[in-house]
C-alpha cells in the first residue's frame, strides 16, 4: 500500500479511510493545506464540499507539484456539473461520500496496483 493524503473535513469518513489504509498496510497523512507541498503522496482524497470551494484550488496546487498523483474527489452530493468541474481540475474519480465510505477498501486496492 502507498501513502494516502486525506484532505477531508468529515471526521467519520476520514477515520474510516485511515482504518482502511492501515489495514492494507499503507500510510495516511493529513497535510496542512496552508503550507508548501513538502509532502508526497500516491493518492490524494479531497473533500469537494470544503468552504469557499477550496477543494478545486487545492487540486490544481497538488497537480503543479505532483503531476503524477491520483486524486479522488468526494462530496455529499455529486451533480453532473460538479463531476465535470472536478474531472477538469484533475480528479481521476468523483464519488459521493457515502459511496466512498462503502467502497474505500476496494478503491484503495485498485489504486495500489
Nine-digit cell at 5? Answer: 493524503
Cα 52 to chain centroid distance, Å, stands at 17
How would you write the pLDDT of the chain (113 residues) with one tens digit per residue?
Answer: 589 999 888 899 999 999 999 999 999 998 875 565 567 888 999 999 876 556 677 777 777 777 788 999 999 999 999 999 999 988 999 999 999 999 999 999 887 65
Q: Where are the domains of the chain?
A: 3-112
CA angle 21, 64, 27 (to 5 degrees): 15
CATH architecture of the region 3-112: 3-Layer(aba) Sandwich (3.40)
Amino acid at each position: 500500500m502507498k501513502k494516502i493524503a486525506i484532505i477531508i473535513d468529515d471526521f467519520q469518513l476520514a477515520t474510516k479511510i485511515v482504518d482502511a489504509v492501515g489495514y492494507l498496510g499503507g500510510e495516511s497523512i493529513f497535510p496542512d493545506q496552508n503550507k508548501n507541498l513538502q509532502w508526497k503522496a500516491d493518492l490524494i482524497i479531497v473533500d469537494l464540499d470544503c468552504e469557499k470551494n477550496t477543494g478545486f484550488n487545492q487540486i490544481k496546487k497538488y497537480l503543479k507539484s505532483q503531476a503524477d498523483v491520483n486524486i479522488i474527489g468526494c462530496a455529499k452530493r455529486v451533480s453532473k456539473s460538479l463531476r465535470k468541474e472536478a474531472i477538469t481540475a484533475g480528479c481521476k474519480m468523483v464519488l459521493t461520500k457515502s459511496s466512498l465510505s462503502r467502497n474505500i477498501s476496494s478503491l484503495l486496492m485498485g489504486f495500489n496496483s
